[in-house]
Copies of this chain bind each other. A is one copy, B any other.
Amino acid sequence: MKETAVLERFIEGKGLRHSKPREQILSVFLSIEQHITIDELWAAVRKKHPGIGYATVYRTLKLFAECGLCSEINFEDGTTRYEHSYGHSHHDHLICTSCGKFFEVVDSEIEKLQERLVKRYGFQLQYHRMNLYGTCRNCRVGIDRRAARTGVPVHSGKGRAAS
């Protein structure tokens, strides 16, 4: 099913109403394959549809989340971001701390071990979030070049451990 159909279905099922702002916001949201903040989405929406207010984007994202089109994630820098979730199965995140690039990753072995870990504590797993922070290859090349020029090594061999 297409995302627009998912939204329509949800709206009809709940006795809500179709509206242009909702279609427009969905269309812009889908066109941006990134994890964005409400502000960023609002800015993007306004470029095409200047009349739309912040509150509408806010409420519409909540609506999308309800019908499974997007989901909210809190990152370590405190920002709340929204990502596409319809047709996207579970994944974790690889985030470059230098350029900010995101990768969506999955490792089925890790997933299995998480289940095992949790069982040892008598838990029943509902969901999890795993964010891995590091430097991507491109950024390291840049860093190494800079280091070569200045003679100052910029990255340690180990990196720091999360507490």
A32 interface residue, CB < 8 Å from B?
A: no
Are B117 and A160 in contact, with the CB atoms below 8 A?
Answer: no
Q: Which residues of B contact A91 (CB under 8 A)?
A: 163
A101-114: contact bitstring with B at CB < 8 Å (1 yes, 0 no)? 00101010110011
Known: A131-B128, A137-B123, A140-B124. A94 touches B118 (CB 8 A): yes
Residues from 79 to 123 in A contacting B, C-beta threshold 8 Å: 80, 83, 85, 88-91, 94, 96-97, 103, 105, 107, 109-110, 113-114, 116-118, 121-123
Known: A128-B130, A129-B129, A160-B126. A76 touches B76 (CB 8 A): no
A10 interface residue, CB < 8 Å from B?
A: no
Residues from 28 to 69 in A contacting B, C-beta threshold 8 Å: none
Residues from 111 to 163 in A contacting B, C-beta threshold 8 Å: 113-114, 116-118, 121-137, 140, 155, 159-163
Are B134 and A123 in contact, with the CB atoms below 8 A?
Answer: yes
The complex is assembled from copies of this chain, and their number is 2
Are B113 and A113 in contact, with the CB atoms below 8 A?
Answer: yes
A74 interface residue, CB < 8 Å from B?
A: yes
Bound: A121/B93 CA distance, A: 12
Bound: A58/B18 CA distance, A: 46
A100 nearest CB across to chain B (Å): 13
Q: Which residues of B contact A129 (CB under 8 A)?
A: 76, 129-131, 133, 162
Choose among B71, B80, B132 the residue that contacts A128 (Cβ–Cβ < 8 A): B132
